[in-house]
Structure 1
């Protein structure tokens, strides 16, 4: 009986560690939820084609969200910003370069940042579908989307299927990046802890 308990205890502890450890990347759930919401809005309300993920637009959205993360949510930020007074990024060319993009293949795209405390999914979606951003979401010229988030900020970048808005990788490796981005990011920490506990209990 004692030997059976000695064998089962590490397995039980492994289960506890695995189920308690959240294998999740920051913002992934919020981004996926928003993508489903936007595509549902376009399909059911507007009868438009769904937006497909664009890895390079997602890269740029991540970079911009990272730039905005320290700005507080106010009545004049994000979707509430008065048109024409949107935040300007002095280092925008650097952000494009990080994603292997340039101005010529992004000029027809649109960048839409929103600030929502705790990124509550229903409020995030409303910030896009019930604001000035809805005009872009209603536009048939946009065919692709990239979403990035940091803290209370979530950024949507819309792309077109034209050369001036395709967000095609400047190095011609967009397909490779899309394949890489589709691979789930899994933490090995809980599995290593299991191995370590199993080793300790069998000494």
Structure 2
């Protein structure tokens, strides 16, 4: 009986980890496929490819998380009338989570779309065949971050200017890494102890 309990405990510890990694892998595939599609579109216009920017990825994830409970409609995402986009009163907090500030992001563009089940071809079309194409057609934008949550995909475009570089302060990045390490260590230690028992 002790043997059975030990293996059930291992299963209950490992199952959430496996599920977390499989969801993250699917999300990473969606993001990678969209970036490739956007770059093929830009190549057809003789524009440079968009480089993935990790800080823009972070902001895109944070914005997508803000949208996750909002249903798709004909007034959300790419269908939103310019000037009526949702405003986030906690936008400074979203920037802070990604160790960004408004001066490094003001020239960037945030482009959310809502597609049920995030069908890849429809997601790409919602960027290339909508009001967002004006930004994708602009050589000013050289980098991208992509985030998704539920039926929402968010693309953040960055520039090579100081006001749109999405650069972070190195000290803030170090604080983030130290904080992440401190939060993950108990989980990894617990995982190691379960495997050793």
What TM-score results when the alignment is normalised by the length of structure 2? 0.76
Task: Return the alpha-carbon distance in structure 1 between the equivalents of residues 155 and 172 of structure 2.
Answer: 22
User: Residue 121 of structure 1 corresponds to which residue in structure 2?
Assistant: 120
Ranges in structure 2 where 5+ consecutive residues have no aligned partner: 1-17, 177-187
CA displacement 1:4-48 (0-9 Å, x = unmatched):
xxxxxxxxxxxxxxxxx77531521211110010000000x2011
3-state secondary structure, aligned to 2:163? coil
User: Residue 101 of structure 1 corresponds to which residue in structure 2?
Assistant: 100
Task: Return the alpha-carbon distance in structure 2 between the equivalents of residues 119 and 174 of structure 1.
Answer: 31
Note if 1:35 corresponds to 2:42.
Answer: no
Task: Return the alpha-carbon distance in structure 2 between the equivalents of residues 37 and 65 of structure 1.
Answer: 19
Q: What's the offset of the Cα at 1:108?
A: 0.2
3-state secondary structure, aligned to 1:31? helix
Contact 2:99 2:172 in 1 (8 A): no
Task: Return the alpha-carbon distance in structure 1 between the equivalents of residues 57 and 31 of structure 2.
Answer: 10
Q: What's the offset of the Cα at 1:170?
A: 2.7
Task: Return the alpha-carbon distance in structure 2 between the equivalents of residues 108 and 172 of structure 1.
Answer: 23
After superposition, the CA RMSD in angstroms is: 2.5
Between 1 and 2, higher relative CO (CA 8 Å, sep ≥ 6) is seen in: 1
Q: What's the offset of the Cα at 1:91?
A: 0.2
CA displacement 1:87-146 (0-9 Å, x = unmatched):
100000000000000000100000000000000000000000000000000000001000
3-state secondary structure, aligned to 1:164? helix
Where has structure 1 moved over 4 Å in runs of 4 or more?
Answer: 172-175
Q: What's the offset of the Cα at 1:172?
A: 5.8
Q: Which has the higher helix share?
A: 2
Contact 2:99 2:173 in 1 (8 A): no
3-state secondary structure, aligned to 1:27? helix
Ranges in structure 1 where 5+ consecutive residues have no aligned partner: 1-20, 178-187, 197-203
Task: Return the alpha-carbon distance in structure 2 between the equivalents of residues 163 and 173 of structure 1.
Answer: 18
